[in-house]
Every structure is written in structure tokens, then in C-alpha cells.
Amino acid sequence: MAIAAAISLPLTSPTRCYLNITDQLRSLSSSYSSFSTCQFNFFKKDSTRICPSVRVSASASMSIQTPEKASPPTSFLDRRESGFLHFVKYHGLGNDFILVDNRNSSEPKITPEQAVKLCDRNFGIGADGVIFVMPGINGTDYTMRIFNSDGSEPEMCGNGVRCFARFIAELENLQGKQSFTVHTGAGLIVPEIQDDGQVKVDMGEPILKASDVPTRLPANKDQSVVKAGLNVDGVTWNATCVSMGNPHCVIFGSEEAQNLQVDELKLAEIGPKFEHHEMFPARTNTEFVQVFSPSHLKMRVWERGAGATLACGTGACATVVAAVLEGRAGRNCTVELPGGPLQIEWREKDNHVYMTGPAEAVFYGSVPL
């Protein structure tokens, strides 16, 4: 699969470097038909060119040329050539997504099967999922849909919604503090871009009723499942079940080891066994958590439909809720993930969970469909 991309790369100084393909691929139909040419321009943040473009030809020769002029990188997203999917790759703490501008249609531009191919890290773009920015419904500003890397469709994604918010700001050319209402499979979500570029998301109320998570584990605290025994391969784990619009099984320990050392887990072996356990009729995301203090948790996650990822926003939210229910932590915690930290607050005043963390663009690109 051939991909033409404009890449934004952080430098060691405050200057940022942009690889822009807008002006250089003026003849997209002829260039993309053979995928023989790709040209890059480097820009400062103010769009001043700081080095010549490099034109790479698929023929035996390679040449360096300087174009007559350069155009700003954001205009790349305005291209509408048929037969190509234009996208921006984003990540939230390493949980990475292909963002697609789908505002002109209520149907995704690609199928789940195409999403699987695009998410392939060897033969595609590489991502944990594809996210579509779609028209809002029921009075919301936008609708967010996701296809996981296995083609399944989750209700919501915490890291994904932060990327979604940053992508909207780019599409709409919005600056400064901004908030949106987003319709998702998990209900109404309200992300707010902060002045420092981080995104704070009102994730709504956690769902604790066992049948609504859903889990077949019997409720043992009111209608909730808290620190209940779950047998996986002969080991009885202590499971607390929480839904943030999608199901989560949170594990702090087992009967044999009350406190996990998460770095010692063989996640690729044990994760699928939780995901597909008969106690979870809709499958489940699973978080394995180590408690350092009442305000500092460390988590590794096996995501339903995506496997081991560097971060999971809804999982971090579910983890703090579970930690409070088990009496292990307070309502405001830093959750340390392999990709970096998220700040999670389960606010007692309104029972809503708030997540704050980064989202960054990685590169721009087009791919033939």
C-alpha cells in the first residue's frame, strides 16, 4: 500500500519542522497513479521554509530541487480527489489513530475490512484504529465513530476522543480554549481543548450495575461487581467491573498476590483470556494496576479489539473508579501508562469522570482505496 504523507516532527529547539506535500503534489492524479514521486518541504511554525525540498523518484536516479514557492501545510486537508482517503495520523500517549474528515456523510468513508488493512503496521499506515469525524445528531456538534484494528466497532475511546478534538480544531481552524459536544456509542462526550493544548474530557458517569457493564459475574456490592473472584487459567483474580460506555475489568491482584507488579505480567498471553472470557458477553477491556500511592497508579491494558496498547483513556478512568470502590485510592489520580501519564478525576459533586491528557498530530497522508 503506497502512502504519500506530510509529517510534523518535533525538533530539539522550539522550532517545529513540517513535511508538506500540498504544493509539491499538484498533479495528484498522475503522481499517485504510479506513486513514483514524493516531495517534502520543511517549514518553521510560521510557515517559513527552512530547507530545500527533496524530490525522490522511484527511478534509478535521485535529485534535489527547490520549488518556486511553498504553501501552508493545512491546505492539504482540503483536497477532495476521488479514489483517495486523506487522513491525519494522531496519537494520545502512543495510542495512535487514523483520523478521517467524514463531516459530509453519516456513513464512514471506508469499511471495517479496509480499516483492518489501513491499521496494519507492516502493510498499511499502522494504527490502533480509524476514527471518523461525522455530522452531529440529536443536537450535538459532531458524531464520533471508530473502527478498531481488528475491524470491530467500540462504543468510545478516551485517547481517541482527545485526538478527535484536536483534529476538529485543525479542520475548523480554531484557536485557544474550545469545547464541543460529541455523540458517541457511549453517549454524550464533551472534550475541551485547554490553553496549553492538552484536552480535558468530561467522560460522563461510570456505569457500575453488573448487567449494564455487561458482566455475568454476580453482583456483590449493591448491584456492582467489586473485587469479585474471576478464574482465568486456574488463577483466581480479584476483578472490579466498570463501564465507561465500554466494558472494563480492572485487576489489582489475585488470591495469591494481592498487589500486582504490572511489569512482570505476560500481557500478550493473559490479555486475550480476559477479553474473551465467558463472564463478559460483549468481551472486555482489561486493566492490570499497581498502586504506588492513593494518588499514583500504574496501569497496563489489554484493549478489546486492539490488544496491548500504550494507553487507554477509558481504561484509566475505569481504573480510578475501581480503585476508589476498592478503597485503594482517592478520586483524583495520576495514572501512569506505558505511553505517559493521564490525570483522572472522579468528581463527587456530579459523579462524572474527567480525563486530561495530550493529543498530537504525527503526519498527514493520502492512501488509494
Domain map (residue ranges) of the chain: 2-74, 83-202, 210-351
Residue 45 has pLDDT above 80, yes or no: no
The grid coordinates listed for 186 are 457511549
Same fold, 83-202 and 210-351: yes
Mean pLDDT of 119-140: 97
Query: Annotated catalytic, 157?
Result: yes
The grid coordinates listed for 326 are 476498592
CB-facing half-sphere around the CA of 201: CA atoms within 13 A: 32
In three-state secondary structure terms, 230 is strand
Q: How far apart are CA 222 and CA 361, in angstroms?
A: 43
Which of 163, 312, 317, 333 is the catalytic position?
Answer: 312
> How high is the mean pLDDT of the chain?
84
Comparison of pLDDT for 160 and 63, the residue scoring more: 160
Residue 312 has pLDDT above 50, yes or no: yes
Kindly report, residue by residue over 14-37, the tens digit of the pLDDT.
333 333 333 333 333 333 333 333
CATH 3.10.310.10 applies to domain 83-202: yes
Lowest mean pLDDT among 49-63, 210-224, 227-241: 49-63
Which of 157, 241, 317, 333 is the catalytic position?
Answer: 157
Mean pLDDT of 113-135: 97
Q: How far apart are CA 111 and CA 99, in angstroms?
A: 14
Mean pLDDT of 135-141: 96
Cβ atoms of 99 and 86 closer than 8 Å: no
Comparison of pLDDT for 290 and 37, the residue scoring more: 290
- Residue 369 pLDDT: 85
- Residue 167 pLDDT: 98
The DSSP code for 63 is B
Residue 64 has pLDDT above 70, yes or no: no
Q: What is the CA angle 108-113-118, rounded to 5?
A: 85
Cβ atoms of 18 and 42 closer than 8 Å: yes
CATH topology of domain 210-351: Diaminopimelate Epimerase; Chain A, domain 1 (3.10.310)
The grid coordinates listed for 341 are 501519564
- Residue 166 pLDDT: 97
- Residue 78 pLDDT: 62
Question: Which pLDDT band, with edges at 50, 70 and 90, does 76 fall under?
Answer: low
CB contact set of 211 (below 8 Å; sequence gap of 6+): 223
Question: Which pLDDT band, with edges at 50, 70 and 90, does 77 fall under?
Answer: low
> What percent of the chain has a predicted confidence (pLDDT) above 70?
78
Query: Annotated catalytic, 51?
Result: no
Mean pLDDT of 323-333: 98
Which of the listed ranges 27-36, 65-74, 134-143 does the model predict with the highest average pLDDT?
134-143
Peptide bond into 218 cis (omega under 30): no
In three-state secondary structure terms, 172 is coil
Residue 330 has pLDDT above 90, yes or no: yes
Mean pLDDT of 135-140: 96
- Residue 79 pLDDT: 61
Which H/E stretch holds residue 22?
none
The residue to which cell 483492518 is assigned: 116
Question: Which pLDDT band, with edges at 50, 70 and 90, does 258 fall under?
Answer: confident
- Residue 83 pLDDT: 84
